[in-house]
Amino acid sequence: MSSGNDCQSQTLTKPTLGEREAAELVDRVFGLKVSWIRSLPSYDDQNFHVRVSAEGADEYVLKITNSEDSQEPDLIEVQTQAMMFLSAEGFPSATPYLTKDGNIMSLELGGTRPGSKKYMVRLLTYLPGTPVAKITTNAQILYEIGRLAASVDKVLSEKFQHPSLKSLHRGQFIWNLANVPLLDQYIYALGQNKYRAVVEQVIEQFKGKVIPKLRSFRACINHGDLNDHNILVDSSSASLEYRVSGILDFSDMSYGYYVFEVAITIMYMMIESPDPLSVGGHVLAGFESVLPLTAEERGALFLLVSGRFAQSLVIAAHTALLYPENKEYLTITAKSGWKHLMTMFQVGQEAIEKTWFETAQAYTYHAPA
């Protein structure tokens, strides 16, 4: 769900290609004839699921990056190389199909209309599976997702190398969890209601209790957006056990902290859960099976999860003002997100942490195989 460094500069940067234009793009840039194409929902990029006329009827996702982020080719290069690296390391990540010139991406004019903008275009392998948002999660898959979140960040931080890694230092990137205080600029989008007061409370507590502790957290590369639409799963027909079959959307990658990733993952796994307040313990247990948190990192978890709720809800409201035609997708988290954030503050940090930490502790005695 990336969107440049400044939400205010999002003045209609999302691509708006039609299916025929997208199919022509695949032919011109990648040399493949499209036999079937359909649009996929997206935040501020444009994605198409395509099947090409080739042996095996290969399937891909055509990803057309918004015009603002397209101006950062080094960043997109690093994100794409990270996907290739993870795939080589055994993670279910997409890989790019090379352009006719042998490149992993190409800057292309988005249409023939006067004033058309240029967009970075990639063709990525299509990963089969069901988004976590479409299943009823259980303790087993929540634990697996927690373990995945830790494993992805750990291997990227310890082994991934690239000449442009510095591009992941995205100081004012609005989706980096360290930048919750930047929400002050966009909170107007909520109007005047009871929700706004809670978000203001989150921001102030974040400034006072989280920001001063950042230096004590362990730094790493974050995927940054392991939400319930960016993790695909499949299930064994013989049981209710799920396994992760795909990790999508690396456009929010940036330097951050390990505890950021587990907080972001907990928040998104809460969204569709019938028992949202219990989710955190299962995700945390999976994460800590790879990377145990320090006492200070654990102490910040409640406010980090609350901070991600605030980011998602405020930025969605702001972006929906810019793209009213995409409001349904942009505010998908808000349907239950507001309820969960309000409940968190009603129940309180102490009680919720007790639930999370006791659940995670139980796994030390009954860890999954």
Q: 12: left (phi > 0), else alpha (psi -120 to 50), else beta? A: left
The DSSP output letter for 5 is S
Beta pairing class for 118-125 and 96-97: antiparallel
Say how many residues make up the chain: 369
Tell me the C-alpha distance between 111 and 154, whole Å. Answer: 40
Q: Which residues of 175-213 are buried (b: 16+ CB within 10 A; e: fewer)?
A: bbbbbbebbeebbebbeeeebbebbeebbebbeeebeee
Beta pairing class for 118-125 and 59-64: antiparallel
Q: What is the DSSP string of 145-184?
A: HHHHHHHHHHHHHHH---TTGGGG--TT-TTSGGGGGGGG
Q: Which residues of 217-243 are buried (b: 16+ CB within 10 A; e: fewer)?
A: beebbbbbbbbbbbbbbeeeeeeeebe
- Owner of token pair 């903008």: 117
Q: Which residues are catalytic?
A: 225
**Nearest C-alpha neighbor of 294 from the set 219, 369, 203, 202:** 219
Q: Is 111 exposed, middle or buried (0-12, 13-18, 19+ CB in 10 A)?
A: middle
Tell me the C-alpha distance between 206 and 10, whole Å. Answer: 25
Reduced to 3 states (helix: H, G, I; strand: E, B; else coil), residue 355 is helix
